[in-house]
Amino acid sequence: MSFLEPYRGWKRVLFYAFLVAVAIWVLFPFFWAVENSFKTTEQTFARGVFMPWLQFQPSLSAWHEVLDDPASINALINSTAVSLGATALVLLLGTPAAYALARYNFRPMTSRDLATWFLTQRALPPAVVLVPYFVLMVTFRLIDTRTGLILVYVAATLPFGVVIMRDVFRDIPLEVEEAAFIDGANDLRVFTWINIPLAINGLVATAIIVFAFNWNEAILASTLTSRAAQTLPFFILSSRSTRGVNFNLAAVNTLIAIVPPIVLSLIIQRFLARGLTFGAVKG
């Protein structure tokens, strides 16, 4: 039975119209970025200039200016290094914590209480911790460094990663672990040789989400960095001149910022489609 079966006649027309409206709403920012990336600075401030070759002549000047600018390349490298480093640390620190919360209870608090506490840390607005983070970074001489930004991003995204990975480990059947214990495996071997392979698709999904949070973060980066460790989102926000925002340069940087998460998702998509847990207990 098709999911459109309940919609007939005018209801189906309205349903398709709603889908088209949502698609336009979602795709318009990408259209805006692509269009403005091929405009000159003067054309971005001109009214009613939308259609290439009809209303304006496309130009690669903005692309050349961005790709020839060492600051933009440095921002791209910083974003990549900081996002990958923070994501790796979140997985390294959060995976054992998530497994412990999924399998053990801690008195006087239960694992559910601890998981709720982790989640409340993610709900904390970033603006609340800007001043404490800034003081800490200045004290330890980590201001405007990749190391300092990685540590801050780990503190910001670790609670979210732990909560997600906790649910991933809870979905692994206990029968698999019990069979390993019967064969003489200890807790560490069960965790590393049994649970990690079975949870790899969930861990990859968690890594993508954490990476996206770190890649798109701009508030903390704009406060804790200036030049050396400036990230791409902060660099896009600072695309200003004496005339205002250079929309063509901001559009080019935006398109460049979109590419790495998309490529990463396409590369590891096969991990997300695997039913490893189902296969482990099948038969």
Per the structure, the count of domains in the chain is 2
Residue with tokens 């590393």: 192
Are 44 and 102 in the same domain?
no
| Nearest-angstrom CA–CA distance, 241 and 86 | 32
Which range of residues forms the domain containing residue 27?
A: 10-63
| Residue at 3 is within a domain | no
Are 124 and 147 in the same domain?
yes
Are 57 and 174 in the same domain?
no
Are 260 and 245 in the same domain?
yes
Under 8 Å between Cβ of 228 and 145: yes
Q: What is the pLDDT of residue 6?
A: 61
Region of residue 184 (phi > 0: left; psi between -120 and 50: alpha; otherwise: beta): left
| Nearest-angstrom CA–CA distance, 164 and 94 | 10
Q: What is the pLDDT of residue 141?
A: 93
Which amino acid does the sequence have at 247?
Answer: F
| Residue at 117 is within a domain | yes
| Residue at 1 is within a domain | no
pLDDT per position in the chain (283 positions), as tens? 455 556 666 777 888 889 899 999 988 888 888 999 999 888 888 887 778 877 888 899 999 999 998 988 999 999 999 999 999 999 999 999 899 888 887 776 666 666 677 677 667 777 888 899 999 999 999 999 999 999 999 998 998 888 888 888 888 888 888 888 888 888 888 888 889 988 888 888 888 889 989 999 999 999 999 889 999 998 888 776 666 778 888 899 889 888 888 887 777 776 655 534 333 444 4
Q: What is the pLDDT of residue 21?
A: 94
Are 43 and 57 in the same domain?
yes
Helix (H) and strand (E) counts for the chain? 16, 2
Q: Of 168, 192, 179, give the one whose Cα is nearest residue 102.
A: 168
**CATH number for the domain that contains residue 216:** 1.10.3720.10
Dihedrals φ, ψ of 109, to 5°?
-95, 145
Q: What is the pLDDT of residue 190?
A: 87
Are 145 and 242 in the same domain?
yes
Dihedral sign of CA atoms 32, 34, 37, 39 in order: negative
Under 8 Å between Cβ of 58 and 44: no
